[in-house]
Chain A
Amino acid sequence: MKMNRRNFFQTLGITSLTLAIGKSGKAITNKKTNVDFKGILIDATRCVGCQSCEIACAEVNNLPEPTDSPEVGITRNLTEFQRCVVNAYDTSKGEIYVKKQCMHCNQPACDAACLTQAMNKTVEGPVIWRGDKCMGCRYCMVSCPFDIPKFEYHSANPKIQKCDMCFSKIKEGGVPACVENCPAEAIIFGTRRELLNEARKRIVENPDTYYNHIYGESEAGGTCVLYLSPVPFEELGFKTNLQNSSYPELSKGFLYSVPTIFVLWPALLLGLREATKDEPVKTIENE
């Protein structure tokens, strides 16, 4: 291909754009998994369904107090007014209560999905939502395997509501409101490592009381919220079909291919264009 001035600038332009845009394909860093996240451990064998956590949560986050209470056969869902709910289940070991809220994944799908970094996995562990960045696209809701983020559909200035593990309290050395207000010590706060050890200890010491699984140890690549249960987790309405690797892994391959295509395609296309040009039959004369 003959490189004249104009061609040169064309190529230069394409190359520089490639470099500029190719950056967008940056893959998800694993840096965040090496820190010791804070988390909470919820022990369903201890929960009495008193809703103290729900009431405390509503108070801290300026949300309306819950008007209904856990009842067997009725699944109460998280809503844009409730960041955590307690549900009652009729199980093989009798009536069991369990609290539901954001799982604060180690590598959250919502954080990877967010194009404005409004959903943010903090180094402390909680996944928080930042309203000044969010554009309300709800891709976090599409991506979250636990269906946690809730959107205020009936507001002209809608917010995403989800548990932030009382991030402002944690930063000042405090504990989340639900942990603080649990009269049954069913919820405890600590580093994820401590909580995993505590959970294992409880299972080993009381093998008859606990079902031998810590929900959140490996689900969705590991979460900062961990659960213990007396019965298999599907009896408590947990999603047990989730993968054990993190969800951002699923789109990693695609994102990695982006810079490759951005380098290869323009070169290939320019080459094809030159190769298919109708040139005058000069070459034959030269032979």
Chain B
Amino acid sequence: MNNLDHTMVKENYAGKTWKFILQEFKPKGKFLTPFNIISLPIMLLGLVLIVIRFWKGLGSITNLTQEVPWGLWIGFDVVTGVAFAGGAYVITFMVYILNIKKYQSIVRVTVLNGFLAYVFYAGALLLDLGRPWNVINPIIGNNFGTSSVLFLVAWHFLLYMIAQLIEFSPAIAEWLGKRRAHKILSGMTVAAVIFGITLSTLHQSGLGALYLMAKEKIHPLWYSEFIPVMFFVSSIFAGLSMVIFEGSISYKVFSDQISDKSHASHNSIIVGLTKICAVTMFAYFFLQVLVFVHAQNWHLLNTPMGYWYLVEIFGFIVLPMLLFILSYKNNSTFLAKTAAVLTMVGIIINRLNVTVIGFKWDAVSHYYPSWMEIAVTFAVIFTEIWVFRWIINRMPVLRDSPSWAKNHN
């Protein structure tokens, strides 16, 4: 580092950085895009609904019942959203642990996606808490419910967010031009990755383990003592499908950000990911069959829930698995994207089957999310995309790092 440069900047350092950050808050580019026109009203509506929710209680905008206390916000926002965020630990595993350089160019965007998913979906969890002012109880103080799976999941969310922030922080340092911080933060990456993968293994499965005690409440086709294993294995291809899906959108929307080198490797990365998806989906399908045979649930197949189960298994696991295989045999990114979308729909169906649709399936009255719950969910997703876009347009996530930062990676 240049010492002279350093001392000269030092006096006005803090002030300049803040000024720079404030300037960066100004919107860039065209404002009245179709996406903005659709997303802004929904975000505003979501904000109004959230105010009502905290003012009049959860019942004022949700359809939650005494029998189904966890609905769309937990089943979709948290449980499904976190599965989709699984790409971050898989990609960092390949790049930093297995040293596969090929995927280096998508590490930052995947980690950013994962980090934002956790921030917003764990944030959605706060909306669902009846007494959110006590949320600090399991974190500080002496109210540690250590026998609770949720205690574990809550702590892991918190720690994993920190780990992901550390993994992403070099990009922030590059944006602000902080060379020294960049050096220190880059040095922490490997430790954060190792810690992050360990945390992910446990809380991806932990989200499934949350439902272990609801033994008689979940339809037997979806309940087994192997839910944690299922949730973990499926988070691998759920996360990677999200990477393929998100990657192909970013590729178009932010094409000006992507360097020529990354452009060239885009297809090769997608094809590589489809192989991993196909293999893990086969393992997952095999596990599903084992669990099904082990539980001796044959008689349940010829019921409406049984047909629904078969749709999930064959329509959204076997079919996309075959498409993934076809896509890498034919080197077709179109097939890969189709398979990724099908897989994602399948993951949504699977998580909702465990948490909402199959939960109290035999009850007299069923839970259906209210339009307001759905609106808040969309508002959360749109806000996340806004923040994602803001960061992509400012920090070196898709584009190359500045030349001074390259030596460290």
Contacts and interface: CB of A to CB of B under 8 A. Distances in A.
B407 to A, nearest CB: 17
B97 A269 contact: yes
Interface stretch (B128-136, B173-181, B368-376, B383-391): B128-136
B143 to A, nearest CB: 5
Interface in A64-88: 77-80
B211 interface: yes
Interface stretch (A41-49, A173-181, A203-211, A238-246): A238-246
A147 B56 contact: no
A26 B191 CA distance: 25
B11 interface: no
Contacts of B405: none
Contact of A255 (B66, B129, B147): B147
A118 B151 CA distance: 12
Nearest to A139: B150
Contact of B130 (A115, A158, A247, A277): A158
Given A27-B147, A116-B145, A262-B198, A273 B152 contact: no
Interface string B131-165: 11011011000011111111110110001000000
A152 B154 CA distance: 23
Counting chain B residues whose Cβ lies within 8 A of the other chain, the interface size class is 35 or more
A86 to B, nearest CB: 18
A138 interface: yes
A123 interface: no
Given A139-B150, A151-B130, A153-B57, A80 B66 contact: yes
A26 B149 contact: no
A25 B205 CA distance: 14
A258 B137 contact: no
A24 B198 contact: no
B59 A154 contact: yes
Contacts of B152: 24-25, 255, 258
B308 interface: no
B57 A158 contact: yes
Given A135-B135, A278-B99, A116 B69 contact: no
Contacts of A116: 134, 137-138, 143, 145
A190 interface: no
Counting chain A residues whose Cβ lies within 8 A of the other chain, the interface size class is 35 or more
B247 interface: no
A153 B198 contact: no
Contacts of B216: 145, 239, 241-242
Contacts of B201: 261, 265
Given A136-B130, A273-B190, A143 B66 contact: no
B206 interface: yes
B129 A137 contact: yes
A269 B202 CA distance: 15
Contact of A10 (B99, B191, B206, B213): B191
Interface stretch (A55-63, A106-114, A192-200, A226-234): A106-114
B66 A77 contact: yes
B206 A134 contact: no
Given A116-B134, A116-B137, A141 B195 contact: no
A156 B57 contact: yes
A134 to B, nearest CB: 6
Interface stretch (A13-21, A89-97, A163-171): A13-21
Contacts of B96: 273
B131 A158 contact: yes
B57 to A, nearest CB: 5
A242 B217 CA distance: 10
A266 interface: yes
A153 B69 CA distance: 10
A114 B98 CA distance: 39
Interface in B90-133: 93, 96-99, 128-132
A3 interface: no
A13 B191 contact: yes
Given A151-B66, A247-B213, A247-B215, A139 B148 contact: yes
A27 B149 CA distance: 10
5 contacts: A10-B191, A133-B134, A139-B210, A151-B66, A273-B98
- Nearest 9 CB-CB pairs, A to B? A136-B130, A153-B59, A136-B131, A115-B151, A138-B69, A135-B134, A141-B69, A265-B198, A115-B145
Given A24-B152, A153-B58, 14 more contacts: A17-B195, A115-B148, A116-B137, A134-B134, A136-B130, A137-B130, A142-B69, A145-B215, A154-B56, A154-B59, A248-B213, A254-B228, A255-B209, A265-B201
